Amino acid sequence: MRIGIAYDCCYPCTIGGAERWYRSLAEHLARRGHEVEYLTLQAWPTGTPPSMAGVSVASLGARWTHNDHRVRLANAVRFQRALASHVAANPDRYDVIHTSCLPYVTMPALSAAASRSSSVLVVDWWEVLSETWWRTTGGMLGARAGERAQERAARVDHIPLAYAELHASRLRSLRPLRDPVRISGIYEESVAARPTDAPEPYVVYAGRLTADKQVERLIPALELARVARPELGLRIIGDGPERDRLAHLIDASAARGAISFSGFVDEAQLSSTLAGATAMVLPSAREGYGLIVLDAISRGTPAVVARGSESAATERIVAGVNGVIAPSADPRDLAAAMLAVISGGDDLRRSTRTWWAANRNDLLIDHGVDQIISVYVHARGLRR
């Protein structure tokens, strides 16, 4: 099949879970003999685009690089509009266009372009946001506009895929006559690090530094946890618009000497940092999947994940087996969850490894690609 994998970001030019997924998906499809083109915005210097094994990379425009969530949203909107125009101008170029549901506002135009072409439109529904979320973040008018855009996107013609039950169930309520296809395999094992029964006394956060991630709550949580465990430290790995504010909060913290703060690191360093940690901690208010949870668990490191109405990351946790679910991202709850992992000790690390061994095959990308190719083939058959 001729497949267009379309996302405005391209790993490793930009770093995030979705970037990793779309690159891995493209490369795995190419390995299986499909003709794959990765469509994106150019975030690399003028010249050769990033190399992907067996995949051609095509830019549909230049990426604005200012580190701000509004610029990121503007990039996504520009890209999806350019993608709709590209599909309309090349109606016979692809058998499948596979992209993200975000931003919702551009989905109707993309669906219309695909319906007039030879392409089946397959869409990853990473998130379906609640009414409460829209009203909290957008005010009354912004909330209604966001909800309507989400509803319209759900109802246009496309094949929906979902990766978490939280968002699958919400999507069913928006389009009750068509269930999304649940995909279980997403994780790409890349750089391995040997699990250890003798972790160092630190917890680690790795990911974007945005308001949704609530990383600032880890600072007072660490201060509280250090009352009982004064040896405990915190390592923050990542970058984003909250970086400067976090740096100021760390400087003002009584635990500043126990906190290290770096930008994004290479895969080998991230792997060793996760493997050697007491726990990985994710206080995020909003997670479509929570890939970093599997990054930790696959290395034998338990995860602490905060419960939140917009976070599907807790779906990766079996409490007391591969980690701890904090009731909220309140620093007191996070501190208690960190201490619970420490109390779990070697037994919790062993059960984390056992859980991963039992669930690994279903969670690996090879299984997910099998599922997705079946979706492509079925959808193409319906179009003939």
Q: What's the number of domains the chain is made of? A: 2
- Beta-bridge partners for 160: 123
Predicted TM-score of the model (pTM): 0.91
Q: Are residues 371 and 341 in the same domain?
A: no
Give counts: helices (H), strands (E), the chain: 11, 15
Residue 69 lies inside a defined structural domain of this protein: yes
The rounded mean pLDDT for the chain is 92
Q: What are the tens digits of pLDDT across the range 184-239?
A: 999 998 766 677 777 999 999 999 999 999 999 999 999 999 999 999 999 999 99
| CATH number reported for the structural domain that contains residue 322 in this entry | 3.40.50.2000
How large a percentage of the chain has pLDDT more than 70? 95
Q: Are residues 102 and 215 in the same domain?
A: no
Instruction: Tell me if 150 sits within 8 A of 129, measured CB to CB.
Output: yes
Question: What is the residue type of 249?
Answer: L
- Beta-bridge partners for 39: 6, 58
Report the distance separating Cα 127 and Cα 309, nearest Å: 12
pLDDT class for 11, splitting at 50, 70, 90? confident
Structure tokens, 12: 């490793």
Q: Are residues 377 and 338 in the same domain?
A: no
- Cβ contacts of 357 within 8 Å, gap of 6 or more: none
Report the distance separating Cα 286 and Cα 379, nearest Å: 31
Structure tokens, 365: 């990308």
Indicate if the pLDDT at residue 354 is higher than 90. Answer: yes
Cα separations in angstroms, 48 against 42, 61, 64, 167: 10, 15, 18, 37
Report the distance separating Cα 56 and Cα 92, nearest Å: 17
Residue 193 lies inside a defined structural domain of this protein: no
Residue 191: predicted pLDDT: 63
Q: What are the tens digits of pLDDT across the range 130-158?
A: 988 888 876 655 678 889 999 999 999 99
Instruction: Tell me if 282 sits within 8 A of 205, measured CB to CB.
Output: yes
Q: Please report the sign of the dihedral spanned by the C-alpha atoms of residue 371, residue 166, residue 127, residue 145.
A: positive
Poorest-pLDDT segment among 35-39, 111-115, 178-182, 303-307: 178-182
Report the distance separating Cα 189 and Cα 179, nearest Å: 29
Report the distance separating Cα 214 and Cα 306, nearest Å: 10
User: What is the enclosing helix (H) or strand (E) of 382?
Assistant: helix 365-383
Indicate if the pLDDT at residue 240 is higher than 70. Answer: yes
Indicate if the pLDDT at residue 382 is higher than 60. Answer: yes
Q: Are residues 233 and 173 in the same domain?
A: no
Task: Give the highest mean pLDDT range of 142-146, 264-268, 286-290, 333-337.
Answer: 333-337
Q: Are residues 371 and 249 in the same domain?
A: no
Q: Are residues 143 and 214 in the same domain?
A: no
Residue 131 lies inside a defined structural domain of this protein: yes
Q: What are the tens digits of pLDDT across the range 294-351?
A: 999 999 999 999 999 999 999 999 999 999 999 999 999 999 999 999 999 999 999 9
Residue 30: predicted pLDDT: 97
Residue 140: predicted pLDDT: 55
Residue 195: predicted pLDDT: 74
Give residue 34's region: left, alpha or beta (phi > 0; psi -120 to 50).
Answer: beta
Indicate if the pLDDT at residue 96 is higher than 70. Answer: yes
Structure tokens, 60: 């549909």
Residue 29: give the domain boundaries. 2-188+364-383
Residue 185: predicted pLDDT: 94
Cα separations in angstroms, 337 against 152, 182, 234, 350, 377: 40, 30, 14, 18, 45
- DSSP 3-state assignment of 65? coil
Indicate if the pLDDT at residue 118 is higher than 60. Answer: yes
Q: What are the tens digits of pLDDT across the range 51-92?
A: 899 999 999 987 776 556 667 778 888 999 999 999 999 999
Q: Are residues 230 and 301 in the same domain?
A: yes
Q: Are residues 33 and 160 in the same domain?
A: yes
Q: Is residue 382 classed exposed, middle or buried when 0-12, 13-18 and 19+ CB atoms within 10 A define those classes?
A: exposed
Q: Are residues 139 and 210 in the same domain?
A: no
**C-alpha torsion 18→215→281→69, nearest 10:** 0
Residue 138: predicted pLDDT: 66
Residue 168: predicted pLDDT: 96
- DSSP 3-state assignment of 12? coil
Say which residue, 11 or 263, is predicted with more confidence. Answer: 263
